[in-house]
Amino acid sequence: MDWVGLSLVSAFLLAASDALAKRAVHENNEYLVAWFRLIFTLPVLLPVFIIIPWPQLDRNFYFAFFIALPIELITVVLYIKALKLSPMSLTVPFLALTPVFLIVVSYLLLGEKVSAAGAAGIGLIALGSYLLNADGIKKSLLEPIRAIGRERGSLYMIGVAMLYSITSSMGKMAIEHSSPLFFGSLYFIAINIAFIPIALFMGRGHMQSFFSERKYRGLIVPGLLYGLMILAHMSAMKLTRVAYMVSVKRTSLLMGVLFGYFMFREGNLRGRFFGAALMFAGFVLIVVSG
């Protein structure tokens, strides 16, 4: 499978995992939900890590790995805080900035250049995903931007988008100096371990009910899907420029809207058509240029 197919598979698996985890987030402590979705990636990642050949590692791999790991943990915490402090409609649209940041960040860190058509495609996907997620705001589609000054959650999500561009670039570097499956499995096994003290501290008041009522069971399938997403994501990253791959993966936001409509009867599917059309146009430009 080529990078486009792998990126779309990654997007679908992420959207499905997010949709299935949505109910758990609303009903439980968000740190415990994030932790257990990570834990349930292990039945996918551990066998891969054990079975695959281990590559010869160099200093570039270790540099990228140990730069990305703490930043990844920061993004998890900031993402959770952003959703807790501010409405999703004022925060999630800013995830569209990650591919835009990557145009510059991947060039500075990896020397990757995107074509003019590729940059235009990235811009269309970013604008389309912004409109897709900002749609339905009563005041204006510009409300997320206007809310930046008063909503800390919006600022946190902009920070998440920027940090994702760094972790994606460092991930690509680590993959180039190891292998996609080795890095992907090792990286998220390490994130699992590193997130334990954060989850135990931030979820300490909800731990007893979470276990006694077996609320973690609702995160088994989302976790397994997330683990498969990681493998598809890393494999796609190896095959193309990181800005292109992440842009195509952002179609998960469009897939998430469809999951929301069919699973939760979330409305206004027709009103989001323009954002979806822009994302599709951007997708075509990136595929042609990539």
What is the crossing angle of helices 97-110 and 116-134, to 10°? 150
| pLDDT given for residue 109 in this prediction | 93
Instruction: Quote the mean pLDDT of the chain.
Output: 85
Angstrom distance (rounded) from CA 197 to CA 73: 11
Is 282's pLDDT higher than 70?
yes
| pLDDT given for residue 268 in this prediction | 59
The residue among 267 and 64 whose pLDDT is bigger is 64
| pLDDT given for residue 74 in this prediction | 93
The three state secondary structure string of 187-227 is HHHHHHHHHHHHHHHHCCCCHHHHHHCCHHHHHHHHHHHHH
Angstrom distance (rounded) from CA 210 to CA 253: 29
Is 220's pLDDT higher than 70?
yes
| pLDDT given for residue 99 in this prediction | 87
Task: Give pTM, 2 decimals.
Answer: 0.87
| pLDDT given for residue 54 in this prediction | 93
Percent of the chain with pLDDT over 70: 86
| pLDDT given for residue 216 in this prediction | 85
pLDDT digits (tens, 9 = 90+) for 123-160: 888 888 777 666 555 556 666 676 666 677 788 888 99
| pLDDT given for residue 95 in this prediction | 81
What DSSP assignment string belongs to 142-203?
THHHHGGGT-HHHHHHHHHHHHHHHHHHHHHHHHHTS-HHHHHHHHHHHHHHHHHHHHHHHT
Maximum mean pLDDT: which of 7-16, 75-84, 245-254, 255-264: 7-16
Q: Which residues of 219-245 are buried (b: 16+ CB within 10 A; e: fewer)?
A: beebbbbbbbbbbbbbbbbbbbbbbbb
| pLDDT given for residue 247 in this prediction | 87
